[in-house]
Amino acid sequence: MICIPVMDPTHREALRSAQKSASLADLIELRMDWIADGDVSELIRAARRASASVKIIVTCRRREESELAREGLEALSVKERTNAAKMKLLREAVVSGADFIDIELAEGTRAVSRMRALCHSRPNPARLIVSWHDPYKTPSLASLKKIFEACARAGADIVKIVSYARSLSDNAAVLNLIDYAKHQGREIIAMCMGEKGRISRVLAPSRGSYLGFAVLPGGRASAPGQLTLREMRTFQKLLRPHRPSVEPQQNQLHFVLLGNPVRQSLSPLMHQAAFRTMGIDASYSAFCIADPAGAVSGIRAMNIRGASVTIPFKTAVMEYLDDIDADAASVGAVNTIVNDCGRLIGHNTDWLGLMAALKEKTQIRGRRFVILGAGGTARAAAYGIRKEGGRPVFVNRTPEKGMALAMQFGCPFYPLAQISKIKAFGLINTTPVGMFPDIQKSPVPPSVLANYRVVADVVYNPLKTKLLRDAEAKGCKVIPGLEMFVRQGAEQLMLWTGRAAPLAVMRNAVRERLMQHES
């Protein structure tokens, strides 16, 4: 995602820049330390009028951490706000609906945790960016990791670390820090300032940095070395992940499913049908395993081209892979392995499959979705809903697990016992309740379903669960688990072969088998 900083010296000029930038970028950052007479509420309203989907960060940078500190900010006659005025302004930004608040670690853990509590108390919570800047140098990777941990401990939803590159190797430290954060499933924004740091600005977003900064043509750079919007977009296109392409004439390729149990899985049936239709000579076999490390060694030794990973190894397998794609790292689970010339890369297509199934039936942006459950699939659902601009709310049987997840995602949580009090646009069941043979069970009583317009179930056996039958009776639009299942499989095929999968063939193969099972 690309963010344009708005840092004009007057409110009038900032209003114009905010509107223009909002219509062009994914995010804008209102740099209130620059906009001397800026009215943050009015700036937020103006940006929202220009674009309903733009995300807004509000920042009031400390002078000593400012990117221009090394270049003599005084010369620019920007008046620094007092600490009390700064905190008041950030509170006003939260109340006015900013999506992100940036606060420096240097403000102290009390100030940060107060700001976090305020951000998370809103019905549509703002996410807290805890930031740290060094405008003079880049510390060693070991020191950067310590700073990252301090920001995370202070309560960051997203950690931001920006340093000054004195040499090209400084870029490597910051890029490696991004890998470190992503392996822990944490969001990070990281890059180097300065001419020698430009390479990190190009590479950081494709490496997993939550966003990269760009300037509008003719606009003011918020930091030395920043690229223009056009340059950033060009690099983003060029750096899109490589997708291997498979020609039908190649020797037989081998794919596997790793899980325990796997006997009931319909993935082999679905993928074999797809490979046949695509004209790819490939085998796909299920393996019930006990040891993910051994299974990953087997993939390497036998040159298996790709693998699906299912319960209970979606998280455990991650440590044995060579790289984890940024989305999978954020979800915290891998359901797909791609063998890219000997390098095993972990991906997650569960969230993509669920979002594709939802988007087929409804809009997600701006809408609240209750997610039942707090396991791996709930994480994938929340990540996808967020990414699509929706608002996840967790509901779970075990409050501690639900609350921990809600904290991580910075969204509300309710215990399952209180579900009747919630009203939202959609409900997504990510628990196994209602799955064969317990087909008369539903995770919620029918009466609560009147509180939703759309109900999705990830359970696909039976084809229509009791939850979906009850929801239909209440007039809801329903999305069966089969739709998520075939779409996550289609995304796997795209990763393995670089080609679009035959969705209808895959759906029919699975549906027929389930119908035989049900009759």
Burial of residue 38 (CB within 10 Å: 0-12, 13-18, 19+) is buried
Residue in the block written with tokens 């990540």: 383
Q: Which is nearer to ligand NAP, 240 or 263 (CB)?
A: 263
Other beta carbons less than 10 A from residue 500's beta carbon: 10
Binding positions for ligand NAP, 300-329, rule CB under 6 A = 311
Q: Does 355 bind ligand NAP (CB under 6 A)?
A: no
How far from the centroid of its chain's Cα atoms is residue 404's Cα?
17
- Indicate which single residue of 183, 397, 469, 474 sits in contact with ligand NAP (rule: CB under 6 A): 397
Residue 99 or 350 having the CB closest to ligand NAP: 350
48-87: which residues touch ligand NAP (CB under 6 A)? none
> Helices 11-24 & 40-50, crossing angle to 10 degrees?
30
Determine the Cα–Cα distance for residues 177 and 209; give it in Å rounded to an integer. 10
**Applying CB under 6 A, does 465 fall inside the site for ligand NAP?**
no
What count of Cα atoms within 13 Å lies in the side-chain half-sphere of residue 371?
31
Binding to ligand NAP by residue 209, rule CB under 6 A? Answer: no
131 binds ligand NAP (CB under 6 A): no
Paired with 454 in beta bridges are: 426, 477
Which amino acid would we find at residue 242? H
Using CB under 6 A as the binding rule, whether residue 373 contacts ligand NAP is answered as yes
Looking at 173-181, 191-199, 367-375, 445-453, which segment touches ligand NAP (CB under 6 A)? 367-375
Q: Which of 396, 442, 465, 492 binds ligand NAP (CB under 6 A)?
A: 396
Q: Does 401 contact ligand NAP by CB under 6 A?
A: yes
Bond prior to 205 in cis (omega within 30° of 0): no
Question: Is position 485 an interface residue for ligand NAP (rule: CB under 6 A)?
Answer: yes
Task: Decide: is 451 part of the binding site for ligand NAP (CB under 6 A).
Answer: no
Closer residue to ligand NAP (CB): 197 or 489: 489
Residue 18 contacts ligand NAP per CB under 6 A:
no
Q: Does 511 participate in binding ligand NAP (rule CB under 6 A)?
A: no
The phi, psi pair for 288, rounded to 5°, reads -85, 115
CA dist 221 and 29 (Å) reads 12
Residue from 398, 418, 420, 447 binding ligand NAP (CB under 6 A):
398
Is residue 502 at the binding interface for ligand NAP, with CB under 6 A as the rule?
no
User: How many residues interact with ligand NAP (rule CB under 6 A)?
Assistant: 26
The Cα 225–Cα 191 span in angstroms is: 11
- Determine contact, residues 195/166, Cβ cutoff 8 Å: no
Of 21, 59, 431, 465, the residue at the interface with ligand NAP (CB under 6 A) is: 431
Q: How far is the CB of 425 from ligand NAP (least distance, A)?
A: 21
Annotated catalytic residue within 182, 314, 464, 466 = 314
Active site residue 237: no
Interacting residues with ligand NAP between 245 and 274 (CB under 6 A): none
CA-based radius of gyration for the chain = 24
Instruction: Name the token pair of 429.
Output: 């069941």
Which of 10, 398 has the CB closer to ligand NAP? 398
Q: What is the DSSP string of 421-465?
A: G---SEEEE-S-TT-TT-TT--SS-GGGGGG-SEEEES--SSSS-
Q: Any contact of residue 491 with ligand NAP (CB under 6 A)?
A: no
Cα separation, 433 vs 35, whole angstroms:
53
* Binding residues vs ligand NAP (CB under 6 A): 311, 350, 353, 373-378, 396-398, 401, 430-433, 435, 443, 458-460, 481, 484-485, 488
Report the catalytic residues.
314
